[in-house]
Amino acid sequence: MSMLDVIKKAGIGAVEAGQPVQVQFGQVVSLQPLAVRLDQRLTLPSGALVVPESLAARALAVGDSLILLRMQGGQSYVVLDRMVTP
């Protein structure tokens, strides 16, 4: 690994440390197993999702829009709630 790569990696780590969570929006694309699409390039598998009991009790449906928190590092996402259109 070159010195430039080490500096880049340290810089990325510093930026991520400054933003421990990030609000994102997604849409349920599959229920068994659960999968949520954030954008055209990224679909989150069930292993990356933390679903609270309150949402597990009220079954999600394909097409539901969700509010998510991306945890630091982007390896897991907490599902906060469904979005509704007023």
What CATH code is carried by the domain that includes residue 73?
Answer: 2.40.50.140
| The pLDDT of residue 25 | 95
Residue 4 in domain = no
Q: What are the E-state strand segments in 1-86?
A: 21-31, 34-39, 42-45, 49-50, 65-71, 77-82
Identity of residue 34: L
pLDDT at 65: 95
In this structure, is residue 31 part of a structural domain? yes
Low-confidence ranges of the chain (pLDDT < 70): 1, 14-19
Domain count, the chain: 1
Q: Which residues constitute the domain of residue 43?
A: 20-82
Give the list of residues 6+ apart from residue 28 with CB closer than 8 angstroms, or none: 34, 35, 36, 60, 61, 62, 63, 64, 66
Whole-number pLDDT of residue 12: 75
Report if residue 9 sits inside a domain. Answer: no
Indicate whether 62 belongs to any domain.
yes
> Which pLDDT score is estimated for 27?
96
Say if 13 falls within a structural domain.
no
